[in-house]
Amino acid sequence: MSELQQEKVIDGFNLVVKAMKINKITEIYGVAGIPVTDLMRLAQENGIKYYGFRHETSAGFAAASSGYLQQWPGVCMTVSAPGFLNGMVALANATTNGFPMILISGSSNRAIVDLKQGDYEELDQMNSATPYAKAAYRINRVEDIGIGIARAIRTSLSGRPGGVYLDLPAALLPAVMPYESGLASLITVTDPAPAQFPSEHAVKQAIDLLRTAKRPIVVIGKGAAYARVEHDLKTFIEDASLPFLPMSMAKGLLPDLHPLSAATARSLVLGKADVVLLIGARLNWLLSHGKPPLWAETAKIIQLEIDSVEIDSNRRIDVPVVGDVASTMKLILKEFAKGTFKAPKEWLDVISIKKKENAEKMASRLENRTVPMNFFTALSTVNKVMQTFPDACLVSEGANTLDVGRNLIDIKKPRHRLDSGTWGTMGIGMGYAIAAAVTQQSPVVALEGDSAFGFSGMDVETICRYELPVTIIVMNNGGIYRGDDINRFNKGDPGVTTLMASARYDVMMEAFGGAGYNATTPDELETQLNKAITSGKPSLINVLIDIHAGTESGHLKKLNTTQGK
């Protein structure tokens, strides 16, 4: 045997796994199949945890939320063409939300794909992904695996985080190269998201403007939660007595019941504020684009933002402070310490009075413990139980379930609430819940509308298979929005938004070995939820909600122009 034949080699499968391991990729979420099954097995053999899903979109959502929760890209792995396209939904959602994620998909033979000769699952995946991802790369040569994975990691984390697609043609994985050269080709990524400090001038301008404010408000977005600035934020807000308004996934950076929280006076503070400080929040539809009638037209705005393109996107930003949120907050505190400032007591008193008025209105609404339950009755019960489990992560999606729950369920800790996010995406529930359970090592409550649950419900089997501490609550009112819709043309067929109010989602959970509960009263729900979370085992509570309860389109009913016609 010749010296060449005796040379030790390493193949693409092993190089991919080694590249992931040296770069702290500890989990892969995906669906097995050609040509990535053996790659998944090898990763598992080498100590990388693999979580196999029933649908690639849910696996992608898990990877995205893992990236958000860990400040390191979550990895989703799929088969080619249809599997890749399913994963693309989650990748696009990750990019829109600013979550670091890498979608790795096997792909067909390049020579055949490029000539469109009809290979198995033929699709030009890299170019298909490009419009919906932060970047898309293809690795064609085995010697480029190390640099390809390094580029994907760095791109997903740098600047505003986002989704990256990495294409692995089937021929790449079994290809070989000399062993020592292969190991030398791998790259350990260092400092992929270096600090980006804003200019000192911008920071000084921001503090100077804030000092002039008679009616200031701080709006906190999930960018601040991702940046983990809760300590600096608490110091700043409490020292200046600044009222704050948290966006839904920023809840818990300061406790929802903090005396300076203006969440229950949202319309008042946005409509009356003369200076608004945005921290990791974008002026998109979730904040009515920063425009009247919700916002005061004369308000001056300070925006702390890592992406300069976001500045002036909807209205004039008077003081743009461009840099990463963590670095910016440190400079803000430093500049703030040079002088004293307190939000005017008159403004705080106005907010306090409005909060009290709204709290009284809500209290009277919650006093009516109806049976069958409405959303307020059920969700106030969920809140009561969750306050005894402050470490539990909440995942929420739906229309009324999401909107009412956002107002009723108090979050005490940062990054303990995940929801539909910037796109209002339905179907994130099981993926987000699984990733939260895996990465946070804490109990998870997935609060689902019955329609939203249908998008990813089959992955209750995944939760049971991996024995994860996830409790699913399905708010079952038998419909999208509500269950009393009718077919205006054919009375024998269901209406457009009708689902099965008689569905027993709890029995579905029992079929996979989890615990199923059926709650028809608030007392039953309270008892069952306590038992489910305490057990630490996969559980599902089917909560019977009045089919007439709920508002079509939730808080977005104004967008449904034909409602009621």
Q: What is the DSSP letter of 134?
A: S
Per residue in 411-467, pLDDT (tens digit) is 999 999 999 999 999 999 999 999 999 999 999 999 999 999 999 999 999 999 999
Distance CA 248, CA 232 (A): 20
- Check pLDDT > 60 for residue 5: no
- What is the residue extent of each domain of the chain? 3-184, 200-352, 368-559
User: What confidence category does residue 564 fall into, taking pLDDT thresholds of 50, 70 and 90?
Assistant: very low
3-state secondary structure 384-432: HHHCCCCCCEEEEECCHHHHHHHHHCCCCCCCCEEECCCCCCCCCHHHH
Spell out the residues 6+ positions from residue 503 whose beta carbon is closer than 8 angstroms to its own: 450, 476, 478, 542
Report which DSSP code applies to 545: B
Question: Which candidate, 461, 425, 447, 449, places its Cα nearest to that of 89?
Answer: 425
Count of Cβ atoms closer than 10 Å to residue 105 Cβ? 30
pTM comes to: 0.95
Sign of CA dihedral 33, 425, 417, 324: positive
Given this model, what pLDDT does residue 565 score? 36
pLDDT at 562 exceeding the cut of 80: no
CB of 393 closer than 8 Å to CB of 440: yes
CATH, domain 3-184, list 3.40.50.2300, 3.30.460.10, 3.30.70.3270, 3.40.50.970: 3.40.50.970
Query: Whole-angstrom Cα distance, residue 372 to residue 547?
Result: 9
Mean pLDDT of 283-293: 95
User: Which residues are 447's β-sheet partners?
Assistant: 396, 473
Q: Is 190 exposed, middle or buried (0-12, 13-18, 19+ CB in 10 A)?
A: exposed
CA distance 46 to 536: 28
Going by C-beta distance under 8 Å and a sequence separation of 6 or more, which residues neighbour residue 169? Answer: 106, 107, 108, 109, 110, 138, 139, 140
pLDDT at 556: 63
Can you count the helices (H) and strands (E) in the chain?
Answer: 22, 19
Residues 65/431, Cβ–Cβ less than 8 Å? yes
The stretch 188-212 carries a mean pLDDT of 96
Nearest-angstrom CA–CA distance, 146 and 142: 9
Summary mean pLDDT of the chain = 94
Any idea which of 113-122, 262-271, 342-351, 373-382 has the lowest mean pLDDT?
A: 113-122
Q: How many CA atoms lie within 13 A of 399 on its CB side?
A: 19
CATH of domain 200-352: 3.40.50.1220
Q: What is the pLDDT of residues 91-124, one digit of tens each?
A: 999 999 999 999 999 998 888 888 888 888 889 9
3-184 matches 200-352 in fold:
yes
Higher model confidence: residue 6 or residue 441? 441
Strand extents, DSSP E, 488-552: 515-519, 539-544
Main-chain dihedrals φ then ψ at residue 123, nearest 5 degrees: -165, 135
Q: Tell me how far apart the terminal alpha carbons of the chain are, to the nearest angstrom.
A: 83
Q: Above pLDDT 90, what percent of the chain?
A: 88
pLDDT at 1: 44
Tell me, what's the pLDDT at 492? 81
Q: Nearest to residue 432, comparing CAs of 449, 450, 420? A: 420
- Both tokens assigned to 147: 């640099």
**pLDDT (tens digit, 9 = 90+) per residue, 141-170?**
999 999 999 999 999 999 999 999 999 999
Pairing assessment for the beta strands 216-220 and 275-279 based on DSSP bridges? parallel
Q: And the tokens for 76?
A: 């989703």
pLDDT at residue 412, rounded to an integer:
95
Rounded percentage of the chain residues whose pLDDT exceeds 70: 97
pLDDT of 48 > 60? The answer is: yes
**pLDDT given for residue 491 in this prediction:** 78
Dihedrals phi, psi of 189, to nearest 5 degrees: -70, 130
The torsion region of residue 390 among left (phi > 0), alpha (psi -120 to 50) and beta comes to: alpha
| pLDDT value of position 554 | 57
DSSP string, 478-489: SBSS-S--B-SS
- Tens-place pLDDT, residues 254-274: 999 999 999 999 999 999 999
The pLDDT of residue 563 is above 70: no
DSSP assignment string, 213-251: -SSEEEEE-HHHHHHT-HHHHHHHHHHHT--EEE-GGGT
pLDDT tens per residue, range 457-486 = 999 999 999 999 999 999 999 999 999 998
Query: Can you tell me the mean pLDDT for 312-325?
Result: 97
Instruction: Specify the CATH number for 368-559; select among 3.40.50.970, 3.30.450.20, 1.10.260.40, 1.10.3720.10.
Output: 3.40.50.970
CA–CA distance, 52 with 49 (Å, rounded to integer): 10
Higher pLDDT, 413 or 6: 413
Find tokens 């609430």 and name the residue.
417
